[in-house]
Amino acid sequence: MKNHNLYTLFFGIFIFSFTASADILRVNSSLNTDVSQKLYKTINEAVSAATAGDTLMIEGSSVIYSTATIKKSLVLIGPGYFLTENSQTQANGATATMQQITIESSATGTILEGLTFSKDYNYYAPYVEADNVIISRCYCPNPIQTVNSINNLLVLQNYFVGNAIEVGYSYYTFNNVLLKNNYVGGVVNIPSDNQNSRIFSSVENNVFAGNIILTATAFRSNIITSSSATVTITSANIQNNLVAGTQLSGNGNQTYNSSQLFINADTASTDGKYKLQANSPYLTAGYNGTQPGIFGGSEPYVLSGIPPVPSIYEFNADNIANKQTGLSVEIKAKANQ
């Protein structure tokens, strides 16, 4: 038996399980557009062909997807990231690597999930002009840019190599931004004042490696890994956070012992190393006795950003086939949450 990549089978399973009236379009930058098969080479081609509410399945490819603009409410789903580091991810280890994606104000309700943004230029990132946007399970070397005054942005279960969110201009505001279960390798420096209100509805179950300056309704169950990080939180509910230094205390906030927190980083994947040890005394140190950090809470981080659709993580087939015996195929697949 021999391993093969088989994306058509993956998408067949997804289409079979999809029960909404919206359409599903494939996008693959390594293939040529075939409208009859609802297959498109570029995201912009698929966006033009799609109707509001449709889903674009962005397939893993060795060719980076060019800059795209979303003008209507769509769902863009990629295969995830770190696919060769974690087990049972995708049979094809190629990511769907993006340049810049701009979500215009007319695209309210758009969802980005399982996408990898290129690190080649600092503007390769999601640019958000619309309300009610969800950015989930994406790999982001550069921060999300808010390039309008927006409401209701959900930033969930992402891996940020550097900063998480930046505001395009000083006069842009936002309201009800949820930052939850993300790893943030850089900073979140978004001050708010009476003239320029930028309020996070909740900042929960994140791991922060850098400075944090923000205003939030609640700041809970986070882990701050730098003892020298500046932590300036404006909130009435700063509760049950773990810090490497002494930036926060009281209300369940505490300084953690690094030898008792995360699993052995030398044997873990890039994102898996932020799991808590099985016998860690901090497993219930989060708000209301829950687990702090990205693998805790009601929306725990998913390794490799695997999207919540069925995936084939192993595919085996014989090298040859004939009419009499057919082709012997073995697959291993799983549903994802």
Bridge partners (DSSP) of residue 54 are none
- Per-residue DSSP letter, 101: E
pTM over 0.95: no
- Per-residue DSSP letter, 283: T
Bridge partners (DSSP) of residue 269 are none
Bridge partners (DSSP) of residue 289 are none
Residues 256-296 pLDDT 10s: 999 999 999 999 999 999 999 999 999 999 999 999 999 99
CA distance 47 to 40: 9
Residues 148-163 pLDDT 10s: 999 999 999 999 999 9
Residues in the chain, overall count:
337
- Contact between 119 and 125 (Cβ < 8 Å): no
pLDDT in tens, the chain (337 residues): 333 333 334 334 443 444 346 899 999 999 999 999 999 999 999 999 999 999 999 999 999 999 999 999 999 999 999 999 998 566 577 999 999 999 999 999 999 999 999 999 999 999 999 999 999 999 999 999 999 999 999 999 999 999 999 999 989 999 999 999 999 999 999 999 888 999 999 999 999 999 999 999 999 999 999 999 999 999 999 999 999 999 999 999 999 999 999 999 999 999 999 999 999 999 999 999 999 999 999 999 999 999 975 444 344 444 555 555 555 444 444 446 6
CA distance 17 to 217: 38
What is the phi/psi pair of residue 325, to 5°? -105, -15
Angle at 314 between CA 313 and CA 316, to 5 degrees: 160
Residues 201-220 pLDDT 10s: 999 999 999 999 999 999 99
- Contact between 197 and 170 (Cβ < 8 Å): no
